[in-house]
Amino acid sequence: MDEEFQIVALVGKYQSADVAEALARMAAFLRSRGVEVWLEANTAEAVGCNGNVHIASYDEIGERADLVIVMGGDGTMLTAARALAGFTLPLVGVNQGRLGFLTDVSHADMFKCVGAILDGHYLRERRSLLEAGVWRNEELVFSTTALNDIVLSRGEIGRMIEFELHVDGEYIYSQRSDGMVISTPTGSTAYALSANGPILHPRLAGIVLVPLCPHGLTYRPLALAQESVVDLVILGKRKSVVHGDGQTLFETREGDKLYIRRSDRGVTLLHPEGYSYFAVLREKLHWSTLPHLT
């Protein structure tokens, strides 16, 4: 075994009996390889723990663990990535969910792939994060980070919202729409893709803006440089909300200023040898698949 990974922490999808079983099997496999196994605290509370593993907070994992194995779907990976963004340890995703762009190790191959990673056979990839904040009357009232996207969207009433877009301090336009997706290259295959945004290779260093159902067909997706700073100024009294990876939520007010920029922090992912981003796209988006005839 490669001595790089002595302590491996497990993070699982909460409230899932299937994941609980998979976590137990993975813990047993890791122990058979001579690895010290930790279990993230919220995961342990959700799935139960038999006392054979060390229960650790995200901070303790970030400071002392050597590797994190995330077992769940992309949402579970987003949670772990955001919690561990301030640390340098790598993450491996085992897909227990549905789509799995980020959790690219299949359940069927998890022992083979994790075993190879423990032996030092893997590909390392760095993914960028966004950081966002809402300023109100010169005071920061909300902040968050995101691996996929920051989204400004309309509130529960369902009426369009209005806002100004500024990039690097320059006024770009005012828009009435359902909102705006501000995405990393990683997030370009998430909400941004469903809103007809472009697919960006994760090694690209940039930010993409994708309007949500704009009141005007000339508002198109816009790709920006990695150092760009995006500001959205909320106009009018209609309620709008800010989401970070769909997991944090803040309700804005008229005059609020939402800023987004690329974070100085990032996330390190480990992939099995032979991993191909384009192969993932082919599989998940069903490229080259013949239509079913009826």
- Active-site residue set: 74
Give the SS3 label for residue 152.
strand
Q: Do residues 67 and 80 touch, judged by C-beta distance below 8 A?
A: no
Residue 242: its H or E element: strand 240-244
Q: How far is CA 47 from the centre of its chain?
A: 23
Q: What is the largest CA-CA distance in the chain?
A: 61
Give the SS3 label for residue 177.
strand
Pairing relationship of beta strands 91-95 and 36-40 according to DSSP bridges: unpaired
The amino acid occupying position 57 is S
Structure letter (DSSP) for residue 199 = P
Using CB atoms within 10 Å of the CB of residue 92, give its burial: 0 to 12 exposed, 13 to 18 middle, 19+ buried: buried
Give the SS3 label for residue 44.
helix
